[in-house]
Structure 1
Amino acid sequence: MNEAEALRPGKIFFLSVSELCLFSSKKQKQKIEKLDGIIWEMDRKDFCSISMFSIFGQLGMMITEKKMKVENVILLLKQIGYCKVLKFRESLRFEKTSLCEVFEKMIVDEDKKDEKKNEKMLIDLCECYLLLRESNYDVPDELVSICIRCLLKAALCKEESEEVRKEVEMALLALSNIGYGDTSKEPYLSEIKEIILYHQEHRNLTRLAYQSAWSFLFNRLFMQNEIEDVVGNELHYVREVSGELDEIRKWVEQKNEEKEEEMKRKDEKMRRIAEVWLRSICSFFSRCKVADEVAIGMVADVTRLCRTSRENERMIFSACLNIFKTMLILKCVKIEALLKGGASKLAVEVLQQSTLTNLNTNICFKFCLVVSERLEKKMNNEMEAKEMKRVKMEFDEEMEEEGYEDTILSLNGSFYFFRDGKIVY
């Protein structure tokens, strides 16, 4: 191993954790606080090179042998979990370790206490537990209930201090990491609605906290019939997500590659926020009916963000294209909405960019082909024939003006879904 490899952040982090048991509790806390900066310096290669499974084992042993206070272990694990969820999204295999079992027992035991219950400790334990697990779909019902109850209580705090805002953000981020469930049968729906509605009036949450609140609600209501009434009508999802997409677009426009450490963390937060908001758009439109003008507005918002992020934020760019792909496959918005919202022009622009990945090129090529095919089918409907002929003519003229035919010829038909002159779904 050369000197550069020996001093990489991942190696420093692993060795520093291994040595924590050699210091006093106060000194441990100081060293853990410094580790927060190291973990954010890591790239994906560094993070994946760390044997987190081994670290979890060491920490569990330190707790058992009383070489490290639980509070200090929690401080370190919250750092790891927060960075894992926002930046790396890698599996840490936490649920396969004895430390996970220790945390499960501690959560249940602490919750059973009456007068001597340590609410702060319980909240911290729940946050670590949910942030570190890879799959929260198989969490025991008792633990899900305890975690939701105590973290929603923490998130309902309306104090406006920076410390409270950070605590609320962590609680809601942990809640958003719980998988699909059924809030309608739990006494928590009114509480998450209260958090969202209060923010809409007072803007008390951080952007990450607000997105996390919506994410938790979507996960718990996903299979329920009331999702349209709650999300669409009571909480005004389309209005809110439109505003959030505009803020994300402004962030992309102002993004500077040379960042201070704190700005890099903000970037990771914004990427997470963008990714989950965009994913929720697919869920919302696939489950809820919306007016044509609402669909057009949303397509226009996504189109603007997609065009802005094409050069600097490829993950956001790809997620935007995936929304159009989903809308086509699920037929959750009318073809006219995709055209009026500007998606067709965007698709041709993407096709003309030779530096794009083949997947994104495929999505846009398929978009144009499917739109044309659907318009042809609608023209056969006598009730819609006249209007569809006009729309189809406008679409064809737009494609010709943007150089669609020339672009297709230059790409030489190298698309896996287009064979023998037919679209392959």
Structure 2
Amino acid sequence: MLDEMCRKEQGSTFTNELYNDIDKMIVEKKISMENAILILKHIGYFKMIKNIWMCGFNYSSLSNMIRLMIIEEEEKKEEMNEKRLVDLCECYLLHGGSNSFVIASICVPCLLKVASNKDENEEVQKEVEMELLALSCVPKYYKVEQRLHLREIKDIIKHHQEHHNLTRLAYQSVWLFLVRRFVLNEKFEMIITDELHFLREARGELEDLEKCVDWKRKEILKENEERKKDMKNVSMLIRWFDVLETFLISQKKSTRKCDRLIMGMDLLCRAAKYNFRDFHEKCIGTFQKMIEKRTVYVDELVRSGVGDSFLEWMMQSTLDDGLMKCYLRFVAKLFKRLNQRTDDDFKEARQRFKKRRMLERMEEEGFEDEIFSISCVLFYFKDYYDPPNNLFDYMLFW
């Protein structure tokens, strides 16, 4: 039933009332705690692989009950039921429980212990996938005991790189957990890039997933099994873009190590434009944040073809206003970066050359008039669109 729901139906299902009703059923013994845990784990798994984010659980009585049960179980020490504690932690994290640093300090070591199991048995690996998926839900602002857990995370990643024992979802999840910890500790950057080869691994995963999707398959075939398989792989790509976005905007210094990765991201963004709108918008958002955070050299974005892609998309007559707003924002921010002065005369000259080349292309395509017309409309509807400041200065005059 969950798999057949559209996004609107999903949004009206995972509400505060739903979780309160489950809590009431447990209290009134209409459903056992064991069965409630089984249902919650199944729904939580579904929500994560479908990239559905709703906060109804956080404000429910069920959230409070599970949080108290986790604390009580952990306090038993020697008499603690580890399997029950693992199940409770999974339920809490998979449903977005994110208002307790105490729970994170209990759940992270508990789940990592199970996730470190290297047995290649299919049932064991399914359990490992669930633990790592739950760990990937730990928000980036949760400061867990990094020095204690870094060894386990590195061991899980290195073992997979040698033996390929993890599922695709499990491997993505462990990277998301590690990269979110990097946000609070820039010392992780050397470990992530040089020791664990994150950029290489991410590029390989994107390339493999790109081959698994029929990008020309129309969205009208929602009931088709092949379409469902495509959507599952696209959901995985969206999750990988979450990892990349977190990493690329969290670096303290700009990097020149990711030009091939950016080209791959651009190709995926192009492929998704017509039949996978959610993923296309995710790509746009990631590029916008990369421009804003200045963690990627702007000439790499131009050289990789990202700027040309956005100009090309803006020229299409069938473009809706939502996408046009996104494209305009990116191009405006790109021109602003290309227009900035630097201490390096060569770098500044190169940026001016790239900007001139893009403007000449716009002029050749007769695009300047279109930009001017769109700019006038955006200016008129400024409160609705909230366009970037000085749009004309960034895009027309230099």
- Deviation string for 1:92-133 (max 9, x for gaps)? 522333332332232233334455543222211111111123
The range that moved more, 237-246 or 358-367, is: 358-367
Name the counterpart of 2:175: 214
Deviation at 1:418, TM superposition (A): 6.3
Deviation at 1:149, TM superposition (A): 1.2
| Cα distance in structure 1, aligned partners of 2:14 and 2:364 | 55
Among candidates 296, 302, 308, match of residue 271 of structure 2: 308
**Aligned mate of 2:162, from 201, 209, 215:** 201
* Deviation at residue 196 of structure 1 after TM alignment: 1.6
Contact 1:347/1:364, CA 8 A, preserved across alignment = yes
Q: Which runs of 5+ in 2 are unaligned?
A: 379-386
Q: Cα–Cα, structure 1 residues 394 and 153, in superposed 2: closer, same or farther, change >3 Å? A: same
Q: Aligned runs of 1:325-344 on 2, under 5 Å?
A: 325-344=288-307
Q: Which residue of 2 aligns with 1:170?
A: 130
Does residue 41 (structure 1) correspond to residue 4 (structure 2)? The answer is yes
Q: CA deviation at 1:171?
A: 1.0
Does the 8 Å CA contact 2:375/2:391 hold for their aligned counterparts? no
CA contact (8 A) 1:345 1:398 kept: no
Shift of 1:360: 2.9
CA deviations on 1:356-391 (whole Å, 9 max, x unpaired) are 333432343344444445445459964446545544
Distance in 1 of aligned mates of 2:78 and 2:391: 74
Alpha-carbon contact 1:170-1:209 (below 8 Å) kept: yes
Q: 1:196-237 deviations in whole A, cap 9, x for unaligned?
A: 222222222122211111111122231212131222222211
The equivalent of 2:381 in structure 1 is none
Give the alignment partner of residue 281 of structure 2, picking from 311, 318, 324.
Answer: 318
Farther off after superposition, 87-96 or 98-107: 87-96
1:16-415 aligned within 5 A: 38-50=1-13, 52-87=15-50, 89-91=52-54, 93-113=56-76, 116-133=79-96, 135-136=97-98, 138-141=99-102, 143-180=103-140, 181-183=142-144, 185=146, 187-253=148-214, 256=217, 257=219, 258=221, 266-267=229-230, 269-288=232-251, 289=253, 291-292=255-256, 294-378=257-341, 382-384=345-347, 387-388=350-351, 390-401=353-364, 403-405=366-368, 407-408=370-371, 411=374, 413-415=376-378
With 390-399 and 150-159 compared, the bigger mean Cα shift is at: 390-399
Distance 1:392 1:106, change over 3 A: closer
Q: Percent same amino acid among aligned pairs?
A: 36
Instruction: Give, in angstroms, the shift of residue 187 of structure 1.
Output: 1.3
**SS class of match (1:188):** helix
Q: Does structure 1 residue 421 correspond to structure 2 residue 392?
A: yes
Give the C-alpha shift of residue 190 in structure 1. Answer: 1.3
Q: Distance in 1 between matches of 2:244 and 2:203?
A: 10
Query: Cα gap change, 1:75/1:395 in structure 2, threshold over 3 Å: closer, same or farther?
Result: same
Task: List alignment gaps of at least 5 residues for structure 1.
Answer: 1-37
Change (3 A) 1:61 1:198: same
- Residues 376-424 of structure 1: per-residue CA shift (max 9 Å, x gap): 5459964446545544454444444555435435646433336683349
Deviation at residue 340 of structure 1 after TM alignment: 1.0
SS in 1 for 2:186: coil
CA distance in 2, matches of 1:84, 1:121: 22
Please report the TM-score for the alignment, with normalisation by the length of structure 2.
Answer: 0.83
TM-superposed deviation, 1:303: 0.9
1:241 Cα deviation (Å)? 1.3
Higher relative contact order (CA 8 A, sep 6+): 2
Q: Is the 8 A contact 1:379 1:389 kept in 2?
A: no
Q: CA deviation at 1:74?
A: 1.0
**Secondary structure at the counterpart of residue 184 of structure 2:** coil
Counterparts of 2:112 and 2:171, CA distance in 1: 13
What is residue 30 of structure 1 aligned with on the other side? none
Q: Which has the higher Rg, Structure 1 or Structure 2? A: 1
